[in-house]
Structure 1
Amino acid sequence: MPRIGMEPLRRKALVDATLRAIGQHGSLDVTMSDIAREAGVSPALAHHYFGSKQQLLVATIRSLLTRLRADTVTAMEHLDTPRERLSAIIRVSFQADQFAPETVAAWLAFYVEAQRSEEVRRLLVIYSRRLRSNLLHSLERLCPPDDAARIAEGVAAMIDGLYIRQSLRSAPIGSTASIALTEDYLDLQLRPFLPAKLS
């Protein structure tokens, strides 16, 4: 008989193993057996909990998004200024666990899968809209709406672009450098508006 309380632990182990397996392969070309082996459970148990590889992939993306959202909320707690909140969003986007090579490879694989899977595409659209909304919320307190929308798109594009460059591994830049580049871009874009706001 299964031990009570083991299901959540095994589900999490399978989700974590999926992330590692995809990251190691650099694509979604992994089997349930590969994932189960990585998690230290039987393929039958993996199928029991998730039904199919597709359902496990979706659960893995949801887990990434849930963690990213929770980390963003925590990072922005007790921050008073919109500029501080923008920096918190950028820091969370490039924090060590999200910007680890395996996780970056998994994100890229999920974007490829979104071209075929409507459910995966929908989840990644949710991520994109949430990032834009978080950026806009602070930017609209610093500059006019049209400029806020333009800058939000630019920051989001920089974040996505730096993930793509990291995934290529030919010229990876670390988390600290990625944060600095994005902050430099944001400072440059906000420079015309900050004096008026601070006066």
Structure 2
Amino acid sequence: MFWESALRKRNEMLPLRRKQLIQATLEVIDRVGLADATIALIAKQAGLSTGIISHYFGDKSGLLEATMRQILRDLREDTMRRRGELAQDSAAAHLRAIVDANFNDSQVSGPVMKTWLAFWSSSMHQESLRRLQHVNDQRLRSNLCCQFLRELPLPQARQAARGLAAMIDGLWLRGSLSGTAFDADAARQLAYEYLDYQLAKKSDAAANAATT
């Protein structure tokens, strides 16, 4: 019974310690940047030993990957929640929900934005991070294309999805580097205007067909 109780307590502590370390990683990267975010600093911020980081994540790259997986998990869950709560099942509503999730507070806070930038930079040199970035990029474009496809032919839907994905990333990047508070409302509005413009092409095509 003693060993069973000790094992149960240990297993209960695992998610808590991982959460502590991921939060500490965000805070340290926000304060000093990725290059100076040492294992010792992160461990001190979390109030844990450096050995715990090595045990759970291996090294700083493993910790960055775990942190980004959590950020992406938060993004995915927020997107699903928003889409599940929609009052109407239209392509425009789903597309707006995807845009809203990408510009939600959980994705545009200072620590998260700096960690995103560190992740993008590191993904050019580390295969595991590059794969993670590829999966995230493909997921976004696939979700966007799926909704555009409800209103547009496949070639146009793919093009619109690529354009909106690029706009989301571009608006986020410009906002993160502006040196001022991120204006999420302005970014969302620009993305809305783009997706509405793309969806309007169906009406234009129908009107042209009717007059010929």
TM over 0.5: yes
Question: What residue identity is the alignment partner of 1:123?
Answer: L
In the alignment, the residues of structure 1 paired with residue 39 and residue 29 of structure 2 have an alpha-carbon distance, to the nearest angstrom, of: 11
Correspondence for 1:101: 110
- Partner secondary structure for residue 106 of structure 2: coil
Displacement of 1:72 in angstroms is: 1.2
1:63 matched to 2:63? The reply is: no
| Higher Rg of the two aligned structures | 2
1:7 matched to 2:7? The reply is: no
Displacement of 1:184 in angstroms is: 1.1
Correspondence for 1:165: 174
Question: What residue identity is the alignment partner of 1:60?
Answer: T
Q: How does 1:41-120 map to 2 (within 5 A)?
A: 41-79=48-86, 80-120=89-129
In the alignment, the residues of structure 1 paired with residue 129 and residue 180 of structure 2 have an alpha-carbon distance, to the nearest angstrom, of: 28
Contact 2:176 2:182 in 1 (8 A): no
Aligned length: 197
Question: What residue identity is the alignment partner of 1:50?
Answer: F
Correspondence for 1:190: 199
- Overall identity of the aligned pairs, in %: 40
In the alignment, the residues of structure 2 paired with residue 149 and residue 28 of structure 1 have an alpha-carbon distance, to the nearest angstrom, of: 37
Among candidates 160, 178, 188, match of residue 179 of structure 1: 188
Higher helix proportion? 2
Displacement of 1:81 in angstroms is: 1.1
Residues 56, 173 of structure 1: alpha-carbon distance in 2 compared, 3 angstrom cutoff: closer
Question: What residue identity is the alignment partner of 2:111?
Answer: E
Contact 1:165 1:171 in 2 (8 A): no
Correspondence for 2:148: 139
| More deviation, 54-63/185-194 | 185-194
In the alignment, the residues of structure 2 paired with residue 23 and residue 138 of structure 1 have an alpha-carbon distance, to the nearest angstrom, of: 35
Displacement of 1:46 in angstroms is: 2.1
Query: What TM-score does the superposition give when structure 2 sets the normalisation length?
Result: 0.85
Contact 2:43 2:49 in 1 (8 A): yes
1:122 matched to 2:131? The reply is: yes
Displacement of 1:187 in angstroms is: 1.4
| More deviation, 176-185/125-134 | 176-185
In the alignment, the residues of structure 2 paired with residue 194 and residue 86 of structure 1 have an alpha-carbon distance, to the nearest angstrom, of: 18
| More deviation, 79-88/17-26 | 17-26
**RMSD across aligned positions (CA):** 1.9
Contact 2:21 2:42 in 1 (8 A): yes
